[in-house]
């Protein structure tokens, strides 16, 4: 596993330890992490502060995003995928999509390369959370 996904997993674990949803994200450019974030919907009572959104918020205004790669421990939802497409991020690397299939086809239909690493560590992290807090998970994915 590369250092970028390791950093995204560390962000997901941070969110879980704060009582939040264990999803982390990292934005990389030229082999360097330029921003990271994690899901803060619970911590900040903000319905749109998903891991990818927090990461991009932390990146701030960087001009063009075309030469960046975003890493996420879970396949992005349609909201995050829409932001990825809007910002013209050309590559997304995800830890897993078994617990949530997300918006892969949407991103690919807009020219985004999606790499699913299918990491058991990411699956285990999400499975544990979903088992512990199913109502919170269903709220997060709009299934309440």
Distance CA 2, CA 41 (A): 27
**Count of alpha carbons within 13 angstroms of residue 96, beta-carbon side:** 17
Across the beta sheet with 91-94, the strand order is 32-38, 24-29, 68-72, 91-94, 113-116
* Positions marked active-site: 52
Distance CA 121, CA 95 (A): 8
């Amino acid at each position: 596993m590369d250092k970028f996904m390791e950093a995204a997993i560390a962000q997901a674990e941070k969110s879980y330890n704060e009582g939040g949803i264990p999803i982390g994200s990292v934005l990389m450019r030229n082999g360097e992490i330029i921003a990271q974030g994690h899901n803060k919907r619970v911590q900040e009572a903000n319905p749109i502060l998903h891991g990818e959104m927090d990461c991009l918020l932390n990146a701030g205004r960087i001009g063009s995003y075309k030469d960046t790669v975003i890493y996420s421990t879970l396949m992005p939802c349609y909201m995050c995928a829409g932001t990825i497409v809007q910002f013209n991020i050309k590559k997304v690397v995800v830890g897993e999509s078994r617990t949530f299939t997300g918006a892969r086809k949407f991103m690919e239909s807009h020219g985004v390369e999606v790499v699913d690493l299918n990491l058991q560590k990411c699956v285990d992290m999400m499975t544990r959370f979903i088992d512990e807090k199913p109502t919170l998970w269903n709220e997060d994915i709009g299934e309440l």
